[in-house]
Structure 1
């Protein structure tokens, strides 16, 4: 039988973990402390799995059911919902922690030992002057190829203008 919001609110903790079932594998775990956790029980590649969907009341019944629908869609496409969740967590962390400038600096520090000092300085100057003002603070995960292409085209246009000035 499907859960209701009233049942969830009225559920009281006991001295052991309790499970309230909603259907389609969605369950609410009620801990002795009173904390309530949404869980999805599913099978993937012949193995029983459990996916954490959130904590009640931050994740309401409706949201938990939506998360179940999304997980079921992934399963239908032969993808593990737990693996997808790990990827999303990683991408969220990368997009917060890793700006283009930070990744570029890390790359440059790794590469500069293989280059002459003059070349390393030119590379850093070009990164600093041409890319950092436009995309330096953007999360690396949000960048698209067209962002880099636009910068390259602007550099080409600038070279063409400067080359034209030298000829006249």
Structure 2
């Protein structure tokens, strides 16, 4: 982390890092609005995310997407409404785990998409991305969460949203394979659900 001085005299806290073989540059705010101690705290949190194989900038973008009011039918907006409804009465630790899972793995990929336009292959790609880091249980739980969000959107009559099929919404319906297969084999196992969504057997 370093303090970058612009030609006009402005000062910004910056940090350069690599993620998936790409050079990235993250800003932690302007100095003196953001003190050295605050910048160090933000840098520390960003390094923790990177150590967990999460892109800190994508995480920050997902956090902002989750917090701000998105377009009415965006996945992020429906997810926020679902979370507000779902979290009532839940164990605080469980709520925190689901929130982290949404911010780390789900919203960076699906958050800005209109929920009615999200197709099954996009969900498969999300699951595959989680599986590639060896987090098969997290992949299964993320898929459960996505299914619940789609179901909530359908029950709430969000325009044009179709519910995910049962074997996408309920992890207990999944056939557990001993080894992950390729995304191509996942898609070949799809059965017709509708013009938008399909039944998928996922190797979770």
Say which one has the larger Rg. 1
Q: TM-score, normalising length from structure 2?
A: 0.37
Q: TM-score, normalising length from structure 1?
A: 0.44
Question: Greater strand percent: which structure?
Answer: 1
Question: Greater helix percent: which structure?
Answer: 1
